[in-house]
Chain A
């Protein structure tokens, strides 16, 4: 039965990454990649802080790790705040102060 359930996740549900057909977006992406690779190496560990949000951001961040989006395949992870994180990321009222 476990085999059947694993098979139910095939073919992969994962969406293709969005097409990078915008020239500005391509240039920006290249610049970001240069900067982050220089500073952080190949992967990114993000610490998200809920500073009084409606939880909508949090729900959609969790969604990024579902089989459709699978953010981790790009080397991007959301991690607990125990020194493992690289950049900070915040949502909610206090985030806009």
Chain B
């Protein structure tokens, strides 16, 4: 689910950034690719945006054989279309003129703020929760963390392209060898307070969640930290010195979460 979500959002972002440079052809293609992922999500997880698909104890729906075939088929379709889209982006000089050297985020700032996701990795900050706080299934599978050094809008687009490719490989590998066991378990009855936290690599970057349950199993305390907390302030630095018309490109290349910083 996480990798499909990553793919859908990276396509959405790449298309939107190009659209803001008036390159609507790229947006047409990327939004169509995103739509295919969303329709697949509705089909196999019950919701286009995967809402209500994850619940305490596991996931709401197990994958049927048809679902597995559908996922595999879509991954093949997306992979086949990707090289042409990359070429279209790479060989459109007027688009490159807008994205290269625009919205540069200094590596030093990315490091100071602990910026994750394509924002941090696009400025050379080599951190990915899937590797550096490895959790199943990423700890048992080979894949690459994508980084770029330039820190501009262009770099953040290239990180996304690279991550789409890696995500498709991950999806294909995981769908081919699903782990044994139930798709969800009932939570055990508690007799004492319990606490836990997790760091997970969402499409924007690392998401942190800490939860404390009381002795009856009710949530006593929860702290949710969206990756954009460490990215929004850096947008201010990245837009410095750029033309006003490039603000939307900078903003969309960050795609900071508005709702995530309201939590």
Contact = CB atoms under 8 A, between A and B. Distances in A.
Contact of B88 (A5, A54, A67): A5
Interface of B: 12, 16, 25, 28-29, 31-32, 34-35, 38, 48-49, 51, 81, 84-85, 87-88, 91, 257-259, 262
Contacts of A9: 28-29, 32
Interface in A30-58: 50, 52-56
Contacts of B25: 2, 5-6
Contacts of A6: 25
A2 B88 contact: yes
A8 interface: yes
A20 B32 CA distance: 25
A97 interface: no
Interface string A4-29: 11101100010000000000000000
A4 B29 CA distance: 12
A5 B32 contact: no
Interface residues of A, number: 22
Nearest to B84: A5
Q: What is the interface of chain A mostly: helix, strand, loop, or mixed?
A: loop
Given A5-B25, A9-B29, A68 B35 contact: yes
A66 B34 contact: yes
Given A1-B88, A60-B48, A66-B31, 17 more contacts: A1-B84, A1-B87, A2-B25, A5-B85, A8-B84, A9-B29, A55-B258, A55-B259, A56-B49, A59-B49, A62-B12, A62-B31, A63-B38, A65-B31, A66-B34, A67-B35, A68-B35
Contacts of A52: 259, 262
A68 B258 contact: no
Nearest to A6: B25
A9 B29 CA distance: 8
A60 B91 CA distance: 30
A28 to B, nearest CB: 25
A55 B28 contact: no
Cβ-closest 7 pairs across A and B:
A66-B31, A54-B259, A68-B35, A55-B259, A67-B32, A66-B35, A67-B28
Contacts of B48: 60
Nearest to B33: A66
A2 B95 CA distance: 14
A74 to B, nearest CB: 17
Most chain B beta carbons < 10 A, residue from A50, A54, A56, A65: A54
A66 to B, nearest CB: 4
28 contacts: A1-B84, A2-B25, A4-B84, A5-B29, A5-B84, A6-B25, A8-B29, A8-B84, A9-B28, A9-B32, A13-B32, A50-B258, A53-B259, A54-B259, A55-B257, A55-B258, A55-B259, A59-B12, A62-B12, A62-B31, A63-B34, A63-B35, A63-B38, A65-B31, A66-B34, A67-B32, A68-B32, A68-B35
A67 B30 CA distance: 10
B32 A56 contact: no
Nearest to A55: B259
A67 B32 CA distance: 6
Contacts of A53: 259
A60 B42 CA distance: 13
Contacts of A54: 259
Interface string A64-88: 0111100000000000000000000
